[in-house]
Amino acid sequence: MNRFQKFLKDLFDSFFSLIKIILLSRFFTDIKKNRTNQEEVVILANGPCLTQDLNINRQFILPRTKFCVNFFALSGEYEIIKPEYYVLAAPEFWLPKTTDFFREKKENLIEILVRDTNWKMKILIPYQAKGSDFVNRVSQNKQIEFLFYNNTPVEGLPSVSNLLFKLNLGMPRPHNVLIPSIFLALNLGFKKIIIFGADHSWHEEIKIDESNTVTVNHEHFYDTGKVQMPMYKLEGEKYFIHDIFRKLHFAFKGYFVLRDYASFLNAKISNASSRSYIDAFERIKINNM
């Protein structure tokens, strides 16, 4: 694709993104109203390497503002880390239809959030979740405040995308919860973002059995072993291998979009994970900072 072809494609993608924003986004969000004056934040992804990352860097992590994601609260670390922000992105958290496996974990998450969160914490979740059973039940804990954000995918001309990003009208495709976590940290005003626990090594554990069922290792730092299972779409259909690699493509590409957006905001994203396939951000070791 030459430069002119790429320009035309980006122009079309920007136009299509604007249409999606008009149809799907809310024009006044909670993110702008909750901007912080703090400079630094730590984002804890749930990859297997987070166990080592926490063991090595605990004294660095604890006094800093922290983001956690998804089912982090199911780990014993939740009440030790006491995250100030908790990011959820998957529709399964607020839609009633999901797999039995996810439904059980979600029930456990709700119970822990309501029972054990005895510090002030903000849960960031897409606008589609407003009024859902999940939000209503977790809101019983008055220590928890919900901030709703637009998860509308935005692509196209970087100048247009950056403007739409800054207005909180959309974000890079949120194919992985780490993408909205980084994006929201940037738009909340943090200038220095440090990531731990982001292995992103799913491709190492993709398997196909004799019935052509594709399974992926969904292991997290709080699991006792591998969690090899199929991936399902919202409609209940299983993913094929090309679907999985397409999702991985958009996830890894999204990190480069976030790197450039951070530069636009004069912010910086660093990856301090002890093991990671993310190649968009500078790799650092805390003892070298």
In which element (H, E) is residue 42 found?
strand 40-44
Tens-place pLDDT, residues 50-101 = 999 999 999 999 999 999 999 999 999 999 999 999 999 998 899 887 777 7
Q: What digits encode the pLDDT tens for the residues 169-213? A: 999 998 899 999 999 999 999 999 999 999 887 787 788 878 888
Specify the higher pLDDT residue, 17 or 231.
Answer: 17
Q: Read off the pLDDT of residues 237-280 as tens digits, 9 standing for 90 and up.
A: 677 888 888 888 888 999 999 999 999 999 999 999 999 999 99
pLDDT digits (tens, 9 = 90+) for 106-162: 999 999 999 999 999 999 999 999 999 999 999 999 999 999 999 999 999 999 999
What's the pLDDT score for residue 248?
85
pTM above 0.85, yes or no: yes
Q: For residue 232, what are the CA distances in angstroms to 205, 207, 213, 265?
A: 17, 15, 11, 36
Residue indicated by tokens 């039995």: 100
List the domain boundaries for the chain. 3-201
For residue 288, the model assigns a pLDDT of 47
